[in-house]
Amino acid sequence: MAPPDARARAAAAERLAALAVPAGALGRLGDLAVWLCATTGQVPPPDLRRTGEVRLVVFAGDHGVAAHGVSAYPASVTPAMVRTVAAGRAGVSALAAAHGVSVRVLDVAVDDDLSDLPGSVTARRVARGSGAIHVEDALPDEAVRTALALGRDVAREEVASGGRLLLGGDLGIGNTTPAAALVAATLGLPAEEVVGRGTGVDDAGLARKSEVVRTALDRSRGRHDDPVECLAALGSADLAATTGYLAEAAALGVPVLLDGLMSVACALLADRLAPGAAQWFAAGHRSTEPSQSLALEKLGLEPLLDLGLRLGEGSGAVAAVPLVRSAAALLRDTALLSEVLP
């Protein structure tokens, strides 16, 4: 994996130091601007305000564990929310409209025919749901590879459509359970350290969720070191597609703004599939899920926002887009000290 442009990074850092502001005054916005220069190869960085330059793909799928008391909501919510995103009425839709972000939702593994939706949403489905990971594998290896390839294809399509900053979103009841299991397997952690309340389960639900993840980890022991095997045992088709999407974006040299637990868990796996991919990622926000913070620490990423968000859909990443644009504007439009001093 080729790293971001070192020359652009150095030139951006030099320009940042030369701005007519006190040293270090821009804080993490300055760091973000330097990262954006390195990952786009431009100094100053692009403003990312043109239509279609910032693009979100929401990967949707159902999860077998949803039938085992790990979520506060039934699995029927997944297809309902796919329809809502497709109609432009979801929470992420409102944020995206406010910030000029293109949104695309894809049915990767929704357990519903969604026949009322256009083929652009449904035509590339890999599976209808996934196995309950504490009793069976989520997917066969072949389906994982198909989903990974789908994600890679989608990343290429988004870049070909003008994407210069890609975002990944998720949609699927029960998805924080396999995502937490993937983080635990990748980092070698016990279930108790990674499991959170997801959509808001009560204490009994949290205990059930922890037991499901614990059992899944024990059942799949010995298969955690290989990312494809790990996704087959503990993931889902939508998480595999997200992993392929992130890995391919990095391979194409396009920066990615990560969202919550699902995209960050997939970023861990993408960095294993394509070592060095994490250098192309920035973290949009810190979710309420403990495993997301653990995964971010492993990736060496500090989230831009910490708002207690747990909506998913890519909402935290979209909410952070104005900060990316602000960082670009500061490095591009602030006067140099040499220009203002007599």
- The reply to whether 211 belongs to the active site is no
Q: How far apart are CA 228 and CA 284, in angstroms?
A: 26
Residue 218: how many other CB atoms lie within 10 Å: 10
Alpha carbon 136 to its chain centroid, in Å, reads 25
Axis-axis angle for helices 227-234, 141-160 (nearest 10): 110
Residue of 193, 211, 313, 339 marked active site: 313
Distance in angstroms (rounded) separating the CA atoms of residues 5 and 3: 6
236: tokens are 């889902």
Q: d(Cα 96, Cα 229) in Å, to the nearest integer?
A: 35
The backbone torsions φ and ψ at residue 55, rounded to the nearest 5 degrees and listed phi first, read -135, 130
- β-bridge pairing 256-258 and 165-171: parallel
DSSP letters, 27-59, are: HHHHHHHHHHHHHHT-SSPP---STTSEEEEEE
Among residues 315, 313, 267, which one has the least CA distance to residue 60? Answer: 313
102 DSSP β-pair partners: 55
Nearest to 327 by CA among 14, 16, 6, 1: 16
Catalytic residues: 313
